[in-house]
Structure 1
Amino acid sequence: MPTLPPLAERMRPTGLDGYFGQQHLVGKGAVLRRAIESGNLPSLILWGPPGVGKTTLAFIISRQLDRPFFSLSAINSGVKDVRDVIEKAAKLKEFGQKLPILFIDEIHRFSKSQQDSLLGAVERGLVTLIGATTENPSFEVISALLSRCQVYILQHLTEEELVALMQHALQTDEYLKDRGIIIKEHEALLRLSGGDGRKLLNILELVVNAVGSQSLTNELVLQQVQQNMAIYDKAGEQHYDIISAFIKSIRGSDPNAAVYWLARMIAGGEDPLFIARRLVILASEDIGNANPNALLLATNCFQAVNLIGWPESRIILSQAVTYLASSAKSNASYEAIANAQALVAETGDLPVPLHIRNAPTKLMKNIGYGKDYKYAHSYENNFVQQEFMPEKVSGKKLYDPGNNAAEQKLRERLKFLWKEKYGY
């Protein structure tokens, strides 16, 4: 058998009707489909997790509009590559030909100067830009470029869509359709893929090539993937299992495991800013008020990584990772906002007590806004007991300090101030 491209590549559809998922965007009458069918397509950013069809959708758009298609990857392209495409586009315009679509994969990895180099061409309509990103474009795409693009959010494929994708591959792929393969159990395939359609097809192919024509069970799939884990890991572009191990190692206060998984992510080409951003989240979610310095250090780590660049920023990441892993832990702040949101969902829009309402007008003052409010700084210890919650939820404890030295001091202070009100 000749060397074949991966199954995911062989199964890449060429039209919207063969495209799996994202029906909210490309289903009959959906917003992006209407834009494509009208031929009036703006520059756009496709934002979504790996393996949901961003690259495929860009290719389908160019094919359906019958326009030249230039593709760049932000990992290995620079300003020169962008300018080369823009020059080609200018020549196409000069000769009255259709203007191209420029697809930039992982556009969030482009620097500010690289993104700046796109602005003029996008603004003049020399190219229609389609950027693909797994990161929030509000943070990763410069505002001047973002304002010239429509952002479309792609969603994880559903279980039904993923199963249908596998069945479609087994029934239509030239090298699989005659092998009589039956998927008896699909849970392991779906779990290993993490909802990534591309990864799912490549795992399916790996298992089928290993076991031949037989029914695929969860046990069989797990056995084969374990035996081929090195191949599987290299094929994955986003190491969700590794980032999970990384976060859980820090949460579990194991700096040795944490820095090991950091090294694995570095070896796998993970975006340093992605790692740093996860550390900022973890500093609040898993450490919080047990050590408020954790959030300061993590935020400074993110800023330093952004400033310093690679490879030196690996040292900054290592410092932050080992500090956070060694720190006291508390998820009390995370639990507090979850409790508060659940309470709001349960009780709705309860009225703000009159005495703590803002009273900017005479009428508001006359009807009692701000009346009897007690200014805390006018009292001993800068505190006076008064009601700040709506009457219906008065006394409801949402923040429960964690069992660590720093938060025990907070608990003692809250108990001293509020006595028995909140049960501290």
Structure 2
Amino acid sequence: MKKRFNLHLFLTIFTISILSYSGCRKTDNPIKTINPITIGVILPMDQEKGLLREKALRTAINLINSSGGVGDGQMIELVIKSSEGTNREIVAAQAARDIIKSNKNPVGFITSFSSCSKGVVEQVALPENYPVVSGAATSGVLSSISPFFQRLCPPDAFEANVLMEQANAYGIERIAIAVEDGETFSTDLANAFQDVFGAGASPKVSFSKSDPSYATKLDQLLANEPDAIFISMLSPAVYEEFITRLSELNVDDRLINTSFILCDAFYTNNILNAQIGMMVGEINGHPKNFGAMPAADTTTSPFNCFQTELMKQFGQEVASYNAQFFDIGFLYAMAIEKTLLNVGTDDKAAFRVRLEYWIRQVSHGESGDPVVMPSLGWKSIKDACQFGGVNYQGASGNCDIDNQGNTIAPYSIFTISGTQAGYSLETIRMVFP
């Protein structure tokens, strides 16, 4: 009986000891969780293009995360904020601050409009060293604004030249300029166009929604009987009202021989619902309206990969600047991968500084660096990043970011065609730099 008792006591004490040891081991070495790497994204979510660009960006990030993410399995997390407000520059800067305050590991930002980009760069990126990449900010004032800012689109001067050359080809000599009052992109593009077109461009006339001086300003705009009106406006509410007021003036066909030159913001389905009948048709054998916007070569494998994935994931056709936001997702992921090789995430400030360097570097690489593209798959791109330098070729075409933070991309000349039964956006031709 004594032996049985001793054996039972021994087994009980042994079991308790094992459980106690296991409990200590669990406390001393908790399961390590890997925090995601956060990128703040500020888009015009009050407009159709905001959601379309978000989905284009998420298409890239979903491909990356589903193939193992970056580093040792870290996922990339997007935190989306809207720039909606009367002053997008101020709203975007505050949104960036909110993202930094509310998230553990934000490493940089992605922006859209020029006004938003300017606010984030000047009020957040510059003082705190956060990289910012824009897919659609074209304002000339952003060139060389900071080594922490870059964009996958040309500055306004490039678009202005494309529009000027098309106007000259159509024999347009006198142009009135209507601009959205107080909007950065609209003003800067109008200034650039006025400069390149020269003496034939009349002084700009600014318009705002429900402007009490609308009638007077329209008379001023049309005073010299222009051959064309250049409309440099970003907000649908502003340019739709402008077109409606022009339509009301056209009851006696006053504008029947007037052409309309459109900025890239008009390449959206929103415009097809406006009163655009007076703008559609032909004058002297050429389209009565035309515009220009950055456009990718749709025959390349990177673009086809993006187009297929965007439709597969979201059922979405490629819209304006969508390819740029898709490419930004891959540029950030490659730059993060390279940064993780030599800087840990514990020193957040050092990580962001190094990340900024790699964003520009992976966009073009050095002579002899292997070409990588989305159609190769993220695992192949990640392996190449770990081995050495890379040269990225994206869906949007040229992604080479220069020392001013700019990228020069192909443009398409587009027009709105059709009848009241249905209008559509059509490409006239491509312009390659």
Calculate the TM-score normalised by the size of structure 1: 0.28
Whose strand proportion is higher, 1 or 2?
A: 2
Higher RCO, 1 vs 2 (CA within 8 Å, ≥6 residues apart) = 2
